[in-house]
Amino acid sequence: MQDRQARAADLLRAAGVLPVITVRTLDEARAIADALLEGGLNTLELTLRTPVAIDALAMLKRERAGIVIGAGTVLDAGHIRASIDAGADFLVTPGTTPTLAAALAEADVPVVPGGATPTEFLALRDHGFRNCKLFPASAVGGLAMLKGLAGPLQDLRFCPTGGISEANAADFLSQPNVLCIGGSWMLDKAWIEAGDWARVRASAAGAAKIVAGVRNA
């Protein structure tokens, strides 16, 4: 567990921004991934919210060298097995029941379990997790919540997701207990539906620039 948590921390820190994507077709998955990669974001969270998600994950791992893909919206042991079999580099959950936490603790890939309250994070800590997803970040307090967690839970690091935009991304990423931020602002629904991959690519490049600006400050 300690080694896998160290790998999770390294992965999140290297990513800086984790685009959260939901795909409807394999062709859409290719186009989105290519736009993100060309914009400088090589690590993404592909949510298991559509019937093609697992196939898309496996396809991108086969076809796109250098891409790092996490399976998101992992809800149960079946999702864990299917994601790992498809080649997922890491797993992300929106929340974590005791049963799911136990299954994640046995997974042989880095995991980023989700939580929303101090009690939930304490429970995750008891399972050995040190890198967690704060979700839905803005709805549960955003920056104030992260600052509040920093005192009593000094050994935990977070990837806040939910309500993060280009406008506040740097503020979240600047928090000492934040390794990475998750978001989908670079994947505007209108751009996706119009196939405007240049806009996606430009927004991804902007997100990469935000990370570089915070890290180099």
| Ranges in the chain, pLDDT < 70 | none
Active site residue 133: yes
Indicate the SS3 state at residue 192.
Answer: helix
Question: How far is 181 from 158, CA to CA, in rounded Å?
Answer: 8
Active site residue 166: no
120-143 burial, b at 16+ Cβ within 10 Å, e below that, comes to bbebbeeeebbbbbbbbbbebbbb
Please state, as a whole number, how many other Cβ atoms lie within 10 Å of the Cβ of residue 188. Answer: 14
Counting the structural domains of the chain, the total is 1
Give, rounded to a whole angstrom, the gap between the first and last alpha carbons of the chain: 33
Give the rounded distance of the alpha carbon of 171 from its chain centre. 17
Enclosing domain of residue 26: 2-210
* Domain of residue 148, CATH code: 3.20.20.70
The reported pLDDT for the residue numbered 130 is 97
The reported pLDDT for the residue numbered 156 is 98
How many residues appear in the chain? Answer: 217
The reported pLDDT for the residue numbered 217 is 82
Tokens of 165: 């935009």
Tell whether 69 is covered by a domain: yes
Indicate the SS3 state at residue 114.
Answer: strand
Tell whether 215 is covered by a domain: no
User: Which of the residues 38, 45, 147, 209 is marked catalytic?
Assistant: 45
User: Which of the residues 38, 61, 133, 147 is marked catalytic?
Assistant: 133
The reported pLDDT for the residue numbered 2 is 85
The reported pLDDT for the residue numbered 1 is 79
